[in-house]
Structure 1
Amino acid sequence: MRQQLLALLTRGPAHGYELKQGLEQLLGSAYPQPNVGQVYVTLGRLEKSGLIKGEDVEQSGRPNKRTYELTDAGRDAVSAWFEETADEPRVRDEFFMKLALAPLSGLADPVTLINKQRRQHLNTMRTLSKLAATEDRGNKIAQLLIEGAMLHLQADLDWLERCQEELE
């Protein structure tokens, strides 16, 4: 969440709740909603590390509000993040470990595990399809997120089919 908050702060100063809402509006309902407590904890850490600076703003009849803005170091950090590529091969896949270890343990049948995982993926795809139909069509970012998730699930379903062919 560190980099996402820094990226949102490139637009200008904001307080934690505004940043949370910004993520929610940008990514839509398919993306797990950020916990406001996690947002504030992360902002505190970013401030301690010198990537942002906070300022208390007085409000009449209400507690002070703390707004945050990027420092030069924060701007450099988010620029460096945008330059990095995302290389995340799923070699350490939790399901695959279960599949590989099931025959050794004698506690689970690999084909049963595959079928259970397949059902889970199909249920998730149905949920995402419903979200895609109800999500604001003007929110192209949310639509792309849903489409990407569905393509990953389809690839996982194809891979499960391959695993079952090899294990039967």
Structure 2
Amino acid sequence: MRLPLLALLVSGPAHGYELKQALETLLGAAYPRPNVGQIYVTLGRLEKAGLIEGEEVQQPDRPNKRIYRITAAGREAVGAWFEDATVEPRARDEFFMKLALASRAGTTNQVALINKQRRHYLKRMRELSRLAASEDRDNRVAHLLIEGAMLHIQADLEWLERCQEELE
């Protein structure tokens, strides 16, 4: 959450709730909604780290709000984040660890484990299909996110088939 918040602040100052709304608008319903409490905790940590600066702004009929601005160090962190390649997620796949250990633990049949995971992926694929149909057509980022998630699930389903073939 740290670096996405910093990246949002590059475009200008904002308070926590504005950042939450910006993430939700940008990513759409397929991405888990950020917790506003988590956002404010993260902003506090970013401020302590010197990556952002906060300023209290008085509001006439409401409680004061804190507006955050990115610092030069924060801009450097965002630049470095965009420069770094993203680590592939499959090196530490929890399902694969379960599958690998199922026979040793003796508590779960590997094929039953594969079938359960397959049902989960298919359910998620249906959910994503519904989201794609209901998502605002103009939000290309959200549609790309949904499409990417569906392609990952398709690949995971194919990989489950390969695992089952190998283990039977």
- TM class, shorter-chain normalised? over 0.9
**1:5-56 CA distance string (max 9 Å, x none):** 0000011110000000000000000000000000000000000000000000
Letter in 2 for 1:85: A
The change in CA–CA distance for 1:93 and 1:78 in structure 2 (over 3 A counts) is same
Say whether 1:44 aligns with 2:40: no
**1:94-145 CA distance string (max 9 Å, x none):** 1111111111111100000000000000000000000000000100000000
CA-based RMSD of the aligned residues comes to 0.7
Give the length in aligned residue pairs.
168
SS, match of residue 6 in structure 2? helix
Distance 2:101 2:8 in 1: 43
CA drift of 1:165 comes to 0.3
Distance 2:91 2:82 in 1: 24
SS, match of residue 90 in structure 1? helix
Aligned partner of 2:19 in structure 1 is: 19
What is the percent sequence identity of the aligned residues?
Answer: 72
Letter in 2 for 1:152: H
Say whether 1:30 aligns with 2:61: no
Aligned partner of 1:4 in structure 2 is: 4
CA drift of 1:91 comes to 2.1
| Structure 2 stretches lacking a partner, 5+ long | none
Letter in 2 for 1:3: L
Distance 1:87 1:94 in 2: 16
Q: How does 1:1-168 map to 2 (within 5 A)?
A: 1-168=1-168
TM-score by structure 1 length? 0.98
| Structure 1 stretches lacking a partner, 5+ long | none
Runs of 4+ deviating beyond 6 Å: none
Letter in 2 for 1:105: A
